[in-house]
Amino acid sequence: MSEATSPGKIILFGEHAVVYGRPAIAVPVAEVQARAVLHPAGSGADFRIIAPDLSQDYELTEAKPDDPLATIVQTTLQYLGQPAPPAATLHISSTIPLGRGLGSGAAISTAIVRAMAQFLYRSLAPAEVSSLVYEVEKLYHGTPSGIDNTVVAFEQPVYFVKGRPIQRMRVKHPLTLVIGDTGIVAPTHTVVGDLRRRWQVEPERYEGYFDEVGVIVNQARVAIEEGRLGLMAIGELMNENQELLESLGVSSPELDGLIQAARQAGALGAKLSGAGWGGNMIALAEPQVAVAVAQALTQAGAVKVITTEVARST
């Protein structure tokens, strides 16, 4: 038997603009996890995929061509030079809400890759895992930036620009983040596709927004890594990023309500995280204020609240 887990993720700064070549910052969220377990089956048995959370139970040979779970299995087997799948049963489970910007698809794929490599007595570097998962991200998101598979595979904060080498980030002072779930599923490819159509009509307008987001991301990187400006500066940058996301048309009344509630409860900054139109928002809070912020989000209608800490690193 082999078993592997993978964390969720949130984007701190730069969603959407990252698709258009600007930088973004993302961090893992260990409080939610995807898990993949491979059990050997009897000789001659088929490779079976069981994912109760997704109401899936089928043999690999029965999978549709665009099935994400089957695709990551087959892609991994091909990469590892396995001509045929082993006789085994793959059990998949996850505590990461689907379609909420927490990287559920990338986390599930990452856990599967790791479990399969372990099952076949192979070791893969995070960069190799990320590359394999990216291929499946295309099925989920159409034109993914690559940030989800990167931060999930490396399990540490990253500064990411599409097409450039990954830069792992230092964190000077811990960041306490409170994540509020609207409960609304908003598929990333739908939101990204809608924004792309508007960008095609008014490219100069939207490129201007993306440039502004890029400036904020770079300022946030300096603030996080050097720590000289303090948490208030990071919070203010989150608020500025949210204003631009609203201008991009990817926020929603539900997200706006949770963001306002968090700020009124003492959060230093708050913004949506991920595609938008639903999903999650995040708030930066001092540790002693985080409980009050979490309570305010629940009272404002959040269906789930997660508090996580981005630990100090060197």
Q: Are residues 198 and 101 in the same domain?
A: no
Same-domain status, 10 and 155: yes
Structural domain ending residue among the three candidates 148, 167, 186: 167
Same domain as 121, residue 69: yes
The pTM of the full predicted model, rounded to 2 decimals, is 0.86
As a dihedral over the C-alpha atoms of residue 199, residue 204, residue 207, residue 211, rounded to 10 degrees, the angle is -160
Which of the listed ranges 56-70, 182-196, 280-294 does the model predict with the highest average pLDDT? 280-294
Domain shared by 152 and 54, yes or no: yes
Q: How far does CA 46 lie from the centroid of its chain?
A: 32
pLDDT band of 4, cuts 50, 70, 90: very high
Are 257 and 156 in the same domain? no
Distance from C-alpha of 105 to C-alpha of 99, rounded to nearest angstrom: 9
Distance CA 131, CA 150 (A): 8
Query: Same domain for 193 and 153?
Result: no
- CATH code for position 141: 3.30.230.10
For the beta carbon of residue 236, count every other beta carbon within 10 angstroms. 18
Q: Return d(Cα 7, Cα 79) in angstroms, integer.
A: 23
Give yes or no for residue 230 having a pLDDT over 90.
Answer: no
User: What's the half-sphere exposure (Cβ side, CA atoms, 13 Å) at 297?
Assistant: 35
Confidence tier at 143 by pLDDT (50, 70, 90): low
CATH number of the domain encompassing residue 254: 3.30.70.890
pLDDT in tens, 5-15: 999 999 999 99
Average pLDDT along the chain: 93
Angle of CA points 77, 82, 86, to nearest 5°: 80
Cα separation, 117 vs 112, in Å, equals 9
Question: Are 98 and 237 part of one and the same domain?
Answer: no
Residues 34 and 156 in one domain: yes
Polymer length in residues for the chain: 314
Q: Are 276 and 292 in contact (CB under 8 A)?
A: no
Same domain, 223 and 303: yes
Task: Specify whether 34 is located in the same domain as 148.
Answer: yes
Residues 121 and 263 in one domain: no
Q: Are residues 106 and 162 in the same domain?
A: yes
Q: Is 148 a catalytic residue?
A: yes
pLDDT digits (tens, 9 = 90+) for 18-71: 999 999 999 999 999 999 999 998 777 899 999 998 889 999 988 888 899 999
| Tally of structural domains, the chain | 2
pLDDT at 141: 65
The whole-angstrom separation of Cα 306 and Cα 29 is: 9
- H-state helical runs in 185-280: 188-201, 203-226, 231-247, 253-264
- Tell me how far the alpha carbon of residue 83 is from its chain's centroid: 32
Evaluate whether 6 touches 33 at the Cβ level (below 8 Å).
yes
d(CA 50, CA 41): 13
In the predicted structure, residue 142 carries a pLDDT above the cut 70: no
Where in the sequence is the domain holding 189, given as residue range(s)? 170-310
The one-letter code for the residue type at 170 is R
Cβ atoms of 234 and 269 within 8 Å: the answer is yes
Radius of gyration of the CA atoms of the chain, in A: 20
Active-site annotation holder among 57, 148, 181, 211: 148
Letter for the amino acid at 269?
A: G
Which of 167, 190, 217 is at the close of a domain? 167
Domain boundary among 167, 202, 232: 167
Query: If 0-12 CB within 10 Å is exposed, 13-18 middle and 19+ buried, where does residue 95 land?
Result: middle
